[in-house]
């Protein structure tokens, strides 16, 4: 499970690095992440490493790199 989360976290980081800020729904689609659980576990990994900014805008979470 840890390996899968790490790979997903890498995909999220690379996608944000190439495309800039995205909402969670867009990020999940672009990275081809199958479940919300996988998305949020990987985001948690990156948040713990202090690599993400997450801002709530209305009903959406906007995610970007620090």
**Second CATH level (architecture) for the domain 2-65:** Orthogonal Bundle (1.10)
Query: In the prediction, which pLDDT does 28 show?
Result: 97
Strand order in the sheet with 60-65: 22-23, 60-65, 52-57
Report the chain (66 residues): mean pLDDT per 10 consecutive residues.
95 98 96 96 97 94 96
- Note the pTM of the prediction, 2 decimals: 0.92
Angle between helices 36-48 and 2-19 (to 10 degrees): 80
Query: In the prediction, which pLDDT does 43 show?
Result: 97
């Amino acid at each position: 499970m840890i390996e899968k989360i790490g790979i997903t976290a890498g995909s999220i980081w690379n996608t944000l690095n190439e495309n800039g800020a995205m909402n969670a729904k867009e990020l999940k689609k672009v990275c081809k992440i199958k479940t919300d659980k996988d998305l949020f576990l990987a985001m948690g990994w990156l948040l713990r490493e202090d690599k993400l900014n997450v801002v709530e805008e209305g009903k959406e979470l906007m995610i970007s790199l620090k």
